[in-house]
């Protein structure tokens, strides 16, 4: 019998059964009276359920319902959606709540599979009618028992933590957060009520989402207010759960679930996590790029998000392999029109997007930099990138914020960091040379801290994209990071009257088609194992490398150097040294950077072969300022 993907009980349910003892007793099936005449592999059934023996005929794979999510088998309407929100507010323990609803779905799917196994076994004469009835009763009894959220086994903090874990379906504590696939998160509720905004409802039970510690503390407070009604299985009152005790219970829960502090807990989001991405649809799909068994080339594989996938978020679109994106293709063609490497720049964008959605940009140590003046399409592409990722999976940390004490902790759960306009002040915090950026883009371990929380270490899987009207902001050591950046030059400015004000809305209708282009680029990336860096990108980076130091940049942008001074050319090819230094200081002020002191400044000029000469009219140098500094960014 072929088993549907993702139908196995979640690990936290199995742990719940093991720890509480519910459902642990199994009926031992009888030996078959007659050996079967054909040998067929038995169905893979869960070990916690009765497992018939003998050979079984194949059973067709199940298809999954794609109708709207339901509560107690009733389709959701606006009125019932409001009732659902009240149920959520009332508490997760309700049998009609989304947590237990999806849990019950999974358990019933597994029960039905086993009922099919029993029916097939009966057809072969493996069980009597009495044994059939006992097995079915055992299955239904197990289902009813394991779906209840029982009272805590005792009033101890450990058992209260276990009760909290089972009530919210919490499976792990990683990246300084509790995670559950069954908790109705803020994002889930936005999608439930957001059909008018184009949001798609999706079933719980597939994506790992954060259960805020504040929600857990509130639940404990609610139960404490019920004292003495709230009792353990043994009937003893749990007692008052004050502030300190709530804190202790959550610490107990952390210890229980933290894979780095508990040898029996296995990390869900480890470094060896398979690259893949979930989609947002009623039953989310898991997309990965693999070489199928018996084949030699990479292919896109779409399947239901199973319990073995550690999907922390989903792209904000569905998967349709037949979808196209003609409007976006035309937009890119016009945006990079005239560039000698137009196709290379387009391919670079899709390749980087593939690495971003699969969380592997750090493997190639590559960020994206959009360079160009206003009205060239940078904002449109940045808006589209943002639309692909849910808000709780993206950050907008500037270079300055990355250096702040608590800000970089947000990178732990982020998949993309978008900075729409790099400011000149970025140079003060190191710009692309900042240690946090270089560490994060390279996928190296970062240590972070949440306010009022603990220090924790994580390996970021965040992609970085920046936009600016000027060149890459680099300090004196900036040339070393050019290998970590690919530049896309948005060169074609569109007049206001020619701009399509509805363009981004049109592109949003093509997101499934754009996703297909991204997936195709991902296949090419894995086949070639190399990242495209367009020739335009290389040329711009080479130009900017010569302007890394503030002195070199000032000389390049504002001055003309003269190697030979002929007779009578002194006044036209040299400048008083005091005027030169004032020009340099003024340029630094417009860039928002600290000028080099005068002594070191002249030392750098002499290293370049620019020497002062002293005459009757004072000291002069063979440099002429032809472009006075302005207040522009670069």
DSSP state letters, 573-614: H-EEHHHHHHHHHHHHHHHT-PPPPHHHHHHHHHHTT---EE
Give residue-wise pLDDT tens across range 317-327: 889 999 999 99
pLDDT, average across residues 600-604: 87
Closest to 554 measured CA to CA, from 585, 523, 579, 576: 585
**For the chain, how many structural domains are there in total?**
4
pLDDT band for 106, please (50, 70, 90 cuts).
low
Same domain, 168 and 131: no
How many Å separate Cα 10 from the centre of its chain?
22
Residue with tokens 């009937």: 235
Residue 503 near residue 331 (C-beta atoms within 8 A): yes
Same domain, 531 and 562: no
Which positions ≥6 away from 326 have C-beta within 8 Å? Answer: 510, 513
Helices (H) and strands (E) in the chain, counts: 21, 21
What CATH number is associated with residue 463? 3.40.50.300
Which positions ≥6 away from 514 have C-beta within 8 Å? Answer: 325, 328, 384, 388, 507
CB environment 107-127: b (16+ within 10 A), e (fewer): bebbbebbebbbebbbebebb
Distance separating alpha carbons of residues 35 and 50, to the nearest angstrom: 20
Task: Tell whether the model's pLDDT for residue 54 goes beyond 90.
Answer: no
Position 157 in a domain: yes
pLDDT of residue 10: 46
Position 362 in a domain: yes
Q: pLDDT exceeding 70 applies to what percent of the chain?
A: 70
pLDDT band for 188, please (50, 70, 90 cuts).
confident
Q: What are 238-241's contacts with CB under 8 Å, separation 24+?
A: 238/152, 238/155, 238/160, 239/155, 241/160
Position 312 in a domain: no
Same domain, 378 and 450: yes
Same domain, 427 and 481: yes
Give residue-wise pLDDT tens across range 549-569: 778 778 877 888 888 888 888
Same domain, 461 and 523: yes
pLDDT of residue 427: 54
Inter-helix orientation angle 98-123/11-20, to 10°: 80
Inter-helix orientation angle 511-528/326-335, to 10°: 60
226 or 93: which carries more pLDDT confidence? 226
Task: Tell whether the model's pLDDT for residue 625 goes beyond 60.
Answer: yes
Position 293 in a domain: no
Say which range, 80-94, 215-229, 317-331, 620-634, has the weakest mean pLDDT: 80-94
Closest to 527 measured CA to CA, from 364, 288, 297, 346: 297
- Among residues 519, 544, 569, the one where a domain terminates is 544
How many CB atoms neighbour CB 560 within 10 A? 13
How many CB atoms neighbour CB 530 within 10 A? 10
What token pair was written down for 577? 């040294």
Same domain, 533 and 569: no
How many CB atoms neighbour CB 613 within 10 A? 13
Distance separating alpha carbons of residues 141 and 68, to the nearest angstrom: 29
Distance separating alpha carbons of residues 601 and 244, to the nearest angstrom: 60
CA dihedral 383, 385, 386, 391 (to 10 degrees): 170
Distance separating alpha carbons of residues 46 and 469, to the nearest angstrom: 59
Distance separating alpha carbons of residues 115 and 101, to the nearest angstrom: 21
Mean pLDDT rounded to a whole number for the chain: 75
Map residue 456 onto helix, strand or coil.
Answer: strand
pLDDT of residue 550: 77
Same domain, 162 and 135: no
Residue 441 near residue 484 (C-beta atoms within 8 A): yes
pLDDT of residue 86: 33
pLDDT of residue 327: 96
pLDDT band for 64, please (50, 70, 90 cuts).
very low
DSSP state, residue 74: E
What token pair was written down for 26? 């199994």
pLDDT, average across residues 189-197: 69
- Tell me the range of 427-436, 538-547, 571-580 where mean pLDDT is highest: 571-580
Position 346 in a domain: yes
104 or 352: which carries more pLDDT confidence? 352
pLDDT band for 108, please (50, 70, 90 cuts).
low
pLDDT of residue 331: 96
pLDDT of residue 140: 63
pLDDT of residue 19: 47
Give residue-wise pLDDT tens across range 324-379: 999 999 999 999 999 999 999 999 999 999 999 998 898 888 999 999 988 999 99
- Among residues 488, 521, 544, the one where a domain terminates is 544
CA dihedral 590, 596, 601, 604 (to 10 degrees): -100
Say which range, 386-400, 424-438, 445-459, 604-618, has the weakest mean pLDDT: 424-438
Same domain, 349 and 466: yes
Give residue-wise pLDDT tens across range 509-537: 999 999 999 999 999 998 888 888 999 99
pLDDT band for 186, please (50, 70, 90 cuts).
confident
Pick left, alpha or beta for residue 391 (phi over 0 → left; psi -120 to 50 → alpha; otherwise beta).
alpha
Position 282 in a domain: no
Residue 311 near residue 305 (C-beta atoms within 8 A): yes
pLDDT of residue 632: 38
Q: What Rg value do the Cα atoms of the chain yield, rounded?
A: 32
Same domain, 236 and 381: no
pLDDT of residue 76: 34
Same domain, 232 and 254: yes
Give residue-wise pLDDT tens across range 582-599: 999 988 887 667 788 888
* Secondary-structure percent of the chain, ordered helix, strand, coil, rounded to 5: 45, 15, 45
Map residue 412 onto helix, strand or coil.
Answer: helix
Task: Tell whether the model's pLDDT for residue 44 goes beyond 50.
Answer: no
Same domain, 584 and 499: no
DSSP state letters, 239-288: ----HHHHHHHHHHHHHHH-TTT-TT---SS-TTPPP-EEE-SSS-EEEE
pLDDT of residue 539: 85
pLDDT of residue 85: 35
Which positions ≥6 away from 395 have C-beta within 8 Å? Answer: 410, 411, 414, 416, 417, 418, 462
Position 565 in a domain: yes
pLDDT band for 56, please (50, 70, 90 cuts).
very low
- Among residues 149, 180, 199, the one where a domain terminates is 149
pLDDT of residue 517: 96
pLDDT of residue 118: 66
Give residue-wise pLDDT tens across range 274-316: 778 989 887 788 998 888 788 888 889 898 887 677 888 889 8
Residue with tokens 């860039």: 591
Same domain, 126 and 66: yes
The parent domain of residue 198 ranges over 152-267
Q: Which secondary structure element, helix H or strand E, spans residue 487, and what is its range? A: strand 485-489
pLDDT of residue 22: 40
Task: Tell whether the model's pLDDT for residue 538 goes beyond 60.
Answer: yes
What CATH number is associated with residue 577? 1.10.10
Position 283 in a domain: no
């Amino acid at each position: 019998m072929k088993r549907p993907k993702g139908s196995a009980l979640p690990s936290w349910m199995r742990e719940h059964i093991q720890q509480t003892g519910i459902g642990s007793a199994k009926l031992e099936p009888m030996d078959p009276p007659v050996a079967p005449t054909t040998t067929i592999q038995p169905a893979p059934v869960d070990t916690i359920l009765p497992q018939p023996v003998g050979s079984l005929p194949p059973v067709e794979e199940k298809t999954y319902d794609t109708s709207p999510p339901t509560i107690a088998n009733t389709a959701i309407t606006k009125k019932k959606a409001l009732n659902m929100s009240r149920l959520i507010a009332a508490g997760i323990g309700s049998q009609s709540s989304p947590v237990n609803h999806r849990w019950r779905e999974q358990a019933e799917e597994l029960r039905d599979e086993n009922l099919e196994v029993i029916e097939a076994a009966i057809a072969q004469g493996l069980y009597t009618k009495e044994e059939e009835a006992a097995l079915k009763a055992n299955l239904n009894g197990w289902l009813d028992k394991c779906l209840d959220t029982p009272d805590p086994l005792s009033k101890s903090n450990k058992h209260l933590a276990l009760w909290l874990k089972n009530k919210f379906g919490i499976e792990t504590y990683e990246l300084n957060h509790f995670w559950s696939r069954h908790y109705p998160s803020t994002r889930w509720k936005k999608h439930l009520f957001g059909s008018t905004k184009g949001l798609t409802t999706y079933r719980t039970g597939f994506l790992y989402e954060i259960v805020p510690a504040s929600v857990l503390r509130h639940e404990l407070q609610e139960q404490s207010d019920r004292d003495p009604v709230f009792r353990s299985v043994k009937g003893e009152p749990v007692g008052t759960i004050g502030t300190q005790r709530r804190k202790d219970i959550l610490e107990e829960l952390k210890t229980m679930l933290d894979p780095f502090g508990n040898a029996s807990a296995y990390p869900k989001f480890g470094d060896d996590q398979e690259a893949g991405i979930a989609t947002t649809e009623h039953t989310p799909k898991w997309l990965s790029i693999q070489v199928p068994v018996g084949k030699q080339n990479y292919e896109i594989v779409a399947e239901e998000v199973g319990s073995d996938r550690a999907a922390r978020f989903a792209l904000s679109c569905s998967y349709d392999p037949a979808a196209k994106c003609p409007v976006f293709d035309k937009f890119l063609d016009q945006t990079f029109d005239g560039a000698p490497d137009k196709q290379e720049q387009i391919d670079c964008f899709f390749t980087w997007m593939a690495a971003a959605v699969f969380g592997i940009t750090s493997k190639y140590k590559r960020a994206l930099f959009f360079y160009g003046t206003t009205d060239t399409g940078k904002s449109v592409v940045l808006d589209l990138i943002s639309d692909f990722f849910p808000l709780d999976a993206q950050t907008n940390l500037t270079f300055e914020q990355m250096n702040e004490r608590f800000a970089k902790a947000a990178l732990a759960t982020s998949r993309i960091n978008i900075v729409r306009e790099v400011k000149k002040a970025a140079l003060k915090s190191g710009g692309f040379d900042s240690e946090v950026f270089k560490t994060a883009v390279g996928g190296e371990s970062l240590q972070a801290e949440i306010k009022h929380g603990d220090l924790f270490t994580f390996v970021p899987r965040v992609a970085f994209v920046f936009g600016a009207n000027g060149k890459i902001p680099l300090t004196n050591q900036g040339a070393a990071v050019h290998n970590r950046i690919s530049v896309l030059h948005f060169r074609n400015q569109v007049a206001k009257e020619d701009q399509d004000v509805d363009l981004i809305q049109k592109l949003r209708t093509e997101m499934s088609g754009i996703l297909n282009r991204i997936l195709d680029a991902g296949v090419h990336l894995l086949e070639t194992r190399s990242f495209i860096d367009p020739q335009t990108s290389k040329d711009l980076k080479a130009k900017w490398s010569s302007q890394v130091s503030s002195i070199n940049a000032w000389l390049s942008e504002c001055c003309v150097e003269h190697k030979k001074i002929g007779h009578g050319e002194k006044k036209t090819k040299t400048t008083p040294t005091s005027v030169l230094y004032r020009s340099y200081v003024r340029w630094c002020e417009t860039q928002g950077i600290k000028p080099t002191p005068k002594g070191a400044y002249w030392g750098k000029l002499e290293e370049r072969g620019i020497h002062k000469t002293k005459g009757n009219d004072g000291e002069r140098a063979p440099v002429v300022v032809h472009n006075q500094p302005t207040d522009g960014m670069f």
